[in-house]
Amino acid sequence: MSLPIASLAAAAEALAAGRTTALDLTEAALARIADPSGEGGRAFLDVQAEKARASARAMDALRAAGRAPSPWAGIPISVKDLFDQQGLPTRAGAVALEDAPPATATAPAVARLERAGFVVLGRTNMVEFAFSGLGVNPHHGTPRSPWDRATGRLPGGSSSGAAVAVADGMGLGALGSDTGGSCRVPAALCGIVGYKPTAKRVPLEGVLPLSSSLDSIGPLANTVGCCAVLDALMAGAETAAPPPARPVAGLRFGLPEATYLFEGLEPVVAEAFVRAVARLEAAGARIERFTLPELAEIPVVNAAGGFTAAESYAWHRALLERARDRYDPRILARILRGASMGAADYLDLHKARARIIAAAAARTAPYDAVLCPTTALTPPAISAVEDEAEYNRINLLLLRNTAAFNFLDRCSISLPCHAPGEAPVGLMLSGAHDGDAALFATAAAVEAALRG
């Protein structure tokens, strides 16, 4: 059994009309998770089945009494193993934190969705400590992308289980995090929508950190509207709705020329991107090529490891003293790069970032969004990254485009743009700092144009 409903809006309508119940939706998702032929065993690290059923029954009772806390009450979702849930340990996909104490409070991002009545199914798998874009977890297994399951292909990371859960109908949405692409990369490789808000839009309290300068909390779901609802509620809105429909005609998109964002694209990715841009142009959008030289500065200033290495090492120092041998060696190596970064280097990086952000913002101001492929690759085989050199090469290619917009502190979204039957490809739209509402409206118009 799988979920018969694909979007939050459709689920809310069916619940309001009495065509389904919260318990029905929850049972369908739990059955999908438990299916031994599916990916539930790898996508989830903790299934909270009885709590989910109890929450669903409570939402059904509240709806029957006319007291449902929101239209979304009773809809099942999942939570990445990075968020605190009161009474449960937060292990971040690691065995080094197996003895972590239970959290004393639930992270605000999760608590706000629970207050709206969403039903949490459990905690999803992830890259250890969120420090890779591949989705590989040697401790708990690697969930497979929906594409070419026979081969076994990377789901993208670090929110790997979150993306696979949504793609496979194990809930209608998922909470992820995005420091360098961890919502958008798995969304692209699993054929769904992933959103990275302007950093700090959603509170980071109760979320195990990777990089305090770059971390952001975002949703993964089947549609732009679903992500918009989840994002608004996590950001503290009292009510939320999908963005209103608007035409693509008249929207202005920037296409950065002579930049690494378009280097090394797989032919399937390049072709899907060209088709998507042509479709938008045919629908009346203005596509303008422009230069964004600041992008070339980002790898230069990050050469010593950047914010992620420095800030993750600062957090992990104490844990490394007692559990270093329990880390994935490939994640450990990335964290240890931060040990050699001095205070002056770190302060210089902050200054360089502020300068690059200001210059890039001026160049992109005329556009509703900047367009590029989300990743350069379609899902590689899991076996391909067993080789350490390939692990690093593919990881860099998957994160390259998304990480640029984390550095620029922009809101950014990945939409599927591949043709039916093709390998999944993501189209990334990046908006202005604090331009989240505008980007959602733009993305909804693009989604409709690509589907129409």
Catalytic residues: 80, 158, 182
Scanning the structure block, which residue is given the tokens 């996508």? 43
Computed over its alpha carbons, how large is the radius of gyration of the chain?
A: 21
Of 353, 313, 32, 350, nearest to 172 (Cα)?
A: 32
Of 125, 195, 175, 120, nearest to 155 (Cα)?
A: 125
- Rounded distance, CA 39 to CA 299, Å? 36
Other residues' Cβ atoms within 10 Å of the Cβ of residue 147: 19
Laid out side by side, the sheet with 369-373 consists of 44-47, 119-124, 76-80, 173-177, 217-221, 193-196, 412-416, 426-430, 369-373, 252-257, 286-291
- Rounded distance, CA 176 to CA 290, Å? 32
Q: Are 414 and 431 in contact (CB under 8 A)?
A: no
CA 147 to chain centre: 18
69 φ/ψ sector (left φ>0, alpha ψ -120 to 50, else beta): alpha
Running DSSP on this structure, what letter comes out for residue 264?
Answer: T
